[in-house]
Amino acid sequence: MNVALLGLGNVGRAVFDILSKKEADIFKNYEVNVKYVLVRNVENKGIDKSLLTTNFEDILLDESIDVVIEMMGALVSYDYMKRALLASKHVITANKEVIANHYVELQEIAMKNKVKLLFEASVGGGIPIVHTMLNSAPFNHITKIEGILNGTTNFILTSMHKEKISFEEALKLAQIKGFAEADPTADLEGLDMVRKIAILSMIAYNSQIDLNNIYHYGISNVDKEIVEVIDLLDYKLKFIASSSLGESGIDITVEPVALRKSDLLANVDYEYNLIRYHGEGCATQMMYGKGAGPTTANSIVFDLGLVLSDYRQKFMPALSLESNGNVNVKARYIMKINDDFDMSIVEKSLGKMVISKEITGDKLNEISSTISFYARIID
């Protein structure tokens, strides 16, 4: 399978590395060959120069290219994706703007040309929420989706709460870490989340979504004082996307929310995302993970796996690895002890209750008859 990568930014480079190292199991059965990497200029890229091109036509006209992976997030992305599909090439993309605005048109072209249009990386970075939603929606009447869908703004708000730094400092850090869009206005004003919640709502409710009717209010004006007061009132400021299906249609908002500190969403920090959805069949489900940065590459490779094979239907475990139970687990334990307990492994004694030093599971098993209960401590 010959692949062309469009873009060599943070995600593009991470995908290039994964495809070059070929460590994932899938590459044991399938040959994946990166034949082109489309870049703006070929200087100082640190990869084999013969792979680099600045001309999309090279890729389009090369009939041996099976898959085009779009990771540029540029104005021309839509055009390139459309032309690749028209040329019967599978397209994998991280581009939420194009998917949110042009999915129906592109999917029609893909179907007509018997190729796939896959976009797992467009929502939630490395979290496989798109496929989960595609698998779940037809069997569950999904009525609600909510969550933190932008790593940059969550990183900014978390850093302002925890490190007490300014909005500008936090934004700079998010940019250095490669979470922010080229123009961070899309993150800060909520447009990035508008696109992501539109994509999830489209799948969940089986409906086209008009992006112009999504309400959004950004966080660009947040300052230290706002965060301080919200913190003092025992809330945490989060930037949340919510979508619900009601009798009169679909209500979607993207706005700052003050959440009780005990709320689960309030404890999703830094670049992490959490998506919670509710359906009649599945009740409430959640997915949590890194929503921005290099892990997004994993979602691209996940889609590539879907182009390569129906490996999910064919799954049969290939290895017989040793199962070690708890013997290698190292931990501290809180224990209720009997009289014959070995006190040399005690870190702190509270009468019949003790906190142990760090011991291995082996040791825990050895002393099990001298305790009546234990709980592993996770700090």
- Strand order across the beta sheet in which 249-260 lies: 215-216, 249-260, 235-246, 142-148, 272-279, 283-290
Residue range at the interface with ligand HSE (CB under 6 A); choices 55-63, 146-154, 313-321, 367-375: 146-154
Nearer to ligand HSE, 94 or 364 (CB): 94
Nearer Cβ to ligand HSE (197/354):
197
* 3-class secondary-structure state, position 196: helix
Residue 179: CB minimum distance to ligand HSE, A: 4
As a dihedral over the C-alpha atoms of residue 35, residue 180, residue 253, residue 247, rounded to 10 degrees, the angle is: 20
Integer Cα distance of 25 and 123 in angstroms: 24
* Sole binder of ligand HSE in the list 218, 256, 289, 291 (CB under 6 A): 291
User: Does 236 qualify as catalytic in the annotation?
Assistant: no
Where residue 282 falls (left for φ over 0; alpha for ψ -120 to 50; beta otherwise) is alpha
Q: Which of 95, 132, 150, 243 binds ligand HSE (CB under 6 A)?
A: 150
**For ligand HSE, which stretch binds (CB under 6 A), given 79-87, 129-137, 150-158, 222-230?**
150-158
Ramachandran area for residue 335 (φ above 0: left; ψ -120 to 50: alpha; else beta): beta
Structure tokens at 45: 């890229």
Q: What residues from 114 to 143 belong to the interface with ligand HSE (CB under 6 A)? A: 125
12 in contact with ligand HSE (CB under 6 A): no
Instruction: Answer yes or no whether residue 70 interacts with ligand HSE by CB under 6 A.
Output: no
Among 181, 188, 250, 275, binds ligand HSE (CB under 6 A): 181
Q: Which helix (H) or strand (E) holds 251?
A: strand 249-260
Q: Which of 80, 179, 239, 341 binds ligand HSE (CB under 6 A)?
A: 179
Give the total of residues touching ligand HSE (CB under 6 A). Answer: 11
- Smaller CB separation from ligand HSE, 279 or 289: 289
The dihedral over CA atoms of 35, 39, 45, 51, expressed in degrees to the nearest 10, equals: 20
Which stretch in 30-38, 145-153, 253-261, 302-310 sits in contact with ligand HSE by CB under 6 A? 145-153
**Alpha helix (H) ranges present in the chain?**
10-21, 26-29, 56-60, 77-86, 96-112, 129-136, 151-162, 167-176, 185-188, 191-205, 224-232, 296-308, 361-366
Shortest Å distance, C-beta 103 to ligand HSE: 16
Q: What SS3 state is found at 216? A: strand
| Residue among 128, 151, 218, 305 that touches ligand HSE (CB under 6 A) | 151
Strand 353-356 and strand 346-350: pairing? antiparallel
Given 35, 89, 196, 236, the catalytic residue: 196
State the Cα torsion 196-291-147-283 to the nearest 10°: 100
Contacts of 366 (CB under 8 A, 6+ apart): none
**Considering only residues 171, 192, 200, 270, which one is a binding residue for ligand HSE as defined by CB under 6 A?**
192
Under the binding rule (CB under 6 A), the answer on residue 292 touching ligand HSE is yes
- Contact (CB, 8 A) for 104 and 208: yes
Cα distance between residue 327 and residue 317, in whole Å: 24
Residue number of the CB closest to ligand HSE reads 152
Q: Which one of 51, 180, 199, 268 is in contact with ligand HSE (CB under 6 A)?
A: 180
Of the listed pieces 147-155, 218-226, 322-330, 360-368, which binds ligand HSE according to CB under 6 A? 147-155
Point out which residues bind ligand HSE (CB under 6 A).
125, 150-152, 179-181, 187, 192, 291-292
Active site residues: 196
